[in-house]
Amino acid sequence: MEELARIVPYFGTHNPKAARSIVIAIMLLAPIAALGVGPAWVRILDFALLYVMLAVGLNLVVGFAGLLDLGYIAFYAVGAYTWAFLASPHFGVHLPFWVVLPLGAGFAALAGVILGFPVLRLRGDYLAIVTLGFGEIVRIFMNNLNHPINITNGPQGINMLDTLHIFGWDISKRVAITDDFSINPLLFYYYVFLGFVVLSVILVKRMQVSRIGRAWAAIRDDDLAAKAVGINLRNCKLLAFAMGATFGGVAGGLFGAFQGFVSPESFSLMESIIVLAMVVFGGMGNIGGVIVGALILSWLPEVLRSYAVPMQTAVFGHVLLDPEILRMLVYALALIFMMLLRPAGLMPAHSRYSKPELVLGKGGKGAEVQA
Amino acid sequence: MIKLLEARGIHKRFGGLQALTDVSLSINKGEIYGLIGPNGAGKTTFFNVLSGAYTPESGEFVFSGSELPYGEPHKIVQRGIARTFQNIRLFRELTALENVMVGHHTRSTAGLFGILLQRKHVREEERLVTERAFELLRYVGIERFANTVSKNLSYGDQRRLEIARALATEPQLLALDEPAAGMNATETSHLRTLIETIRHDGVTVLLIEHDVKLVMGLCDRVAVLDFGKKIVEDVPAIVQKNAAVIEAYLGGAHA
């Protein structure tokens, strides 16, 4: 909960209670405000939440355990394709979400372990290259597994995925309140995704302040010393890959349901890099920072998309820079300035792996971390 | 005397370099055992073989009655051998308290699902581990820095923290690799008191050290390594007078 307050600069440390309520109010009201501007903006918010889930999951691998993973989007793909196989007319299977999502998470975790085994002995650059290769392998599989037996339908992707039905209620349908007032389903998706994000953050926080989180941090800081205090490096690293992948898998399933369509091009290397950029931009290892990073970096390009074209036409009479190019430019600039001005990220890790107050009592003397 | 650790004929070779040749020694329960020798004599290699970081070509370690496994450091820690490093290796980004809590890893049991569901026994264990970590910080005298990120501690305190972290694994044998390196006289005397307290509390200590005064004053028995071979193993008073030891340290002319 403290993280929620810290998201608000200055105010958060001076009046955490108020800051926290503000953040919660924004979280709950944002989509309604966005709907006032236009439904497209709610859609962008929905996607932003999926990116938050991805960033939170990747942060667990990169920020906590220090394992640089450039193929993280592969787990998102596994989750999305699991949804596509088990909840679409493609194979004619239509299982409910409470079966498909856990299965997607499970397959993604399995993929995480499969990636984990060969890279156990690798670190830094070498690890990055292998994970990058892994991400590409998964994408290329999706692209080519339509022949001789059609499994993934190749580059065309799989269409008409089942929408999210929560105990019989299809949340992708408008709910009519009166004849001329109905609730946009994008809102329902927002709150469902928000629920998943909150759950993910709670689970990740629990892991962080535990025996497992501390073991991950120990491996990140000094793997030789970690061995010397009796940590089983193999198991700990595999668990980090598997747990990180799980969140990717769930986000992937939700993506499939939301989008109604999956194809390999959604899972390109660029996507992996964007998620990593969100983690680095926000502040590696700090969940609050990572969330803010993901929100900013998923909003920014959309803002550009909708304002860059009209603005350029107004000023120059024609479009000089395509929004897609601008997007990359802004990402690059954001990261460069970040590295120069705040190398530890927007919100450097305040993250703690213990609760001294368990012993010292709330607000106990010396409970504050000295950096 | 009960033997706690017995090394039998340890050989370790790095390519053409014979780092350890047929090293056998035995450490009794409850003693402070010193391992000395000139630079490059193989002391740290011996530590690394003992702690499972290296696998020896031949030889074996018998620890409290049974053989130690090779190549799996975490199992050796579970058996009750903890070590520190010559060049301090702390978990830099973690606080002093968290460093010690990591040391409890093998002695705690919380599993993934227990943690995700925050089961009662997991919360209870977390509280106990935190409490125990505070106790250990108090024990080595750096409790006031519990919430300081370890990379910002002073050199002497980092050394103490490393010892606290090793003690958190609840060892029977604590192996210290040059704990006094880089310390001034006051810090060394504090360290000496600490090592004596540790032994008094029932932990056997194996000490690699260059500070001959410290070793001779502190250790019950001392072994001297030279070029990977053990040249003598005895009480300090006799080791000090041994001709081979004097030769190893000062060169042939003084023998």
Residues of A within 8 A of B174 (CB-CB) are none
Which residues between 276 and 295 in chain A have a beta carbon less than 8 angstroms from any beta carbon of chain B? Answer: 285
Point out the residue among B91, B110, B146 whose CB comes nearest to the CB of A225.
B91
Q: Do B102 and A218 touch (CB under 8 A)?
A: yes
First to last CA, chain A: 21
What pLDDT does B255 receive? Answer: 44
Largest CA distance in chain A: 69
- State the DSSP code for A160: S
Point out the residue among B74, B118, B131 whose CB comes nearest to the CB of A206.
B118
Q: Which residues contact B118 (CB under 8 A, 6 or more apart)?
A: A206
What pLDDT does A147 receive? Answer: 84
The alpha-carbon gap from B124 to the nearest alpha carbon of chain A, in Å, equals 10
Would you say residue B11 has pLDDT above 50? yes
Among chain A residues, the shortest Cα distance to B51 is held by A228
3-state secondary structure of B176: strand
- Both tokens of A334, joined, read 């954001």
pLDDT in tens, A34-80: 988 888 899 999 999 999 999 999 999 999 999 999 999 999 999 99
Would you say residue A364 has pLDDT above 60? no
Which residues between 173 and 212 in chain A have a beta carbon less than 8 angstroms from any beta carbon of chain B? Answer: 203, 206-207, 209-212
**How many Cβ atoms are within 10 Å of A353's Cβ, its own excluded?**
27
Q: Do A358 and B152 touch (CB under 8 A)?
A: no
Q: In A145-268, which ranges are continuous DSSP H helix?
A: 185-208, 211-221, 223-228, 233-259
pLDDT in tens, B57-67: 999 999 998 99
Q: Is A218 on the interface with B (CB under 8 A)?
A: yes
Would you say residue B121 has pLDDT above 90? yes
Pick the most confident of A32-41, B88-97, B245-254: B88-97
Residues of A within 8 A of B92 (CB-CB) are 221-222
- State the DSSP code for B88: -
Q: Do B74 and A207 touch (CB under 8 A)?
A: no
Point out the residue among B73, B115, B130 whose CB comes nearest to the CB of A228.
B73
Would you say residue A12 has pLDDT above 80? no
Q: Do B98 and A203 touch (CB under 8 A)?
A: no
What pLDDT does A314 receive? Answer: 83
Largest CA distance in chain B: 70
**How many Cβ atoms are within 10 Å of A184's Cβ, its own excluded?**
16
Would you say residue B243 has pLDDT above 90? no
What pLDDT does A367 receive? Answer: 53
Confidence of residue A345 (pLDDT cuts 50, 70, 90): confident
Return the higher-pLDDT residue of A288 and A1: A288
Residues of A within 8 A of B126 (CB-CB) are 209-211, 355, 358
3-state secondary structure of B150: helix
The alpha-carbon gap from B238 to the nearest alpha carbon of chain A, in Å, equals 34
CATH architecture of the region B1-80+171-255: 3-Layer(aba) Sandwich (3.40)
What pLDDT does A350 receive? Answer: 64
The alpha-carbon gap from B222 to the nearest alpha carbon of chain A, in Å, equals 24
Q: Is A358 on the interface with B (CB under 8 A)?
A: yes
Which amino acid makes up residue B79? R
Q: Do B94 and A369 touch (CB under 8 A)?
A: no
Residues of B within 8 A of A353 (CB-CB) are 94, 98, 101
The alpha-carbon gap from A283 to the nearest alpha carbon of chain B, in Å, equals 14
Domain layout of chain B by residue ranges: 1-80+171-255, 93-168
- What are the Cα distances from residue B176, in Å, to B32, B55, B205? 11, 20, 7
Q: Do A222 and B95 touch (CB under 8 A)?
A: no
Residues of A within 8 A of B115 (CB-CB) are 206-207, 210-212
Give the number of beta-carbon pairs within 8 Å between A and B.
140
The phi, psi pair for B176, rounded to 5°, reads -110, 120
Which residues between 226 and 255 in chain A have a beta carbon less than 8 angstroms from any beta carbon of chain B? Answer: 226-233, 239, 243
Residues of A within 8 A of B51 (CB-CB) are 228
What pLDDT does A165 receive? Answer: 87
Would you say residue B252 has pLDDT above 70? no
Work out the mean pLDDT of chain B and round it to a whole number: 92
- State the DSSP code for B1: -
Residue A165's DSSP bridge partners are A170
Work out the mean pLDDT of chain A and round it to a whole number: 88
Point out the residue among B94, B115, B169 whose CB comes nearest to the CB of A353.
B94
pLDDT in tens, A262-301: 999 999 999 999 999 999 888 888 888 899 999 988 888 8
Q: Do A229 and B152 touch (CB under 8 A)?
A: no
What mean pLDDT is predicted for residues A338-348? 82
Residues of B within 8 A of A359 (CB-CB) are 127, 130-131, 134
Return the higher-pLDDT residue of A229 and A11: A229
Return the higher-pLDDT residue of B173 and A281: B173
What pLDDT does A5 receive? Answer: 67
Best residue in B47, B55, B74 for a mutation probing chain A (most A CBs within 10 Å): B74
What mean pLDDT is predicted for residues B154-170? 95
CB B173 within 8 A of CB B27: yes
Rounded to two decimals, the ipTM of the complex is 0.92
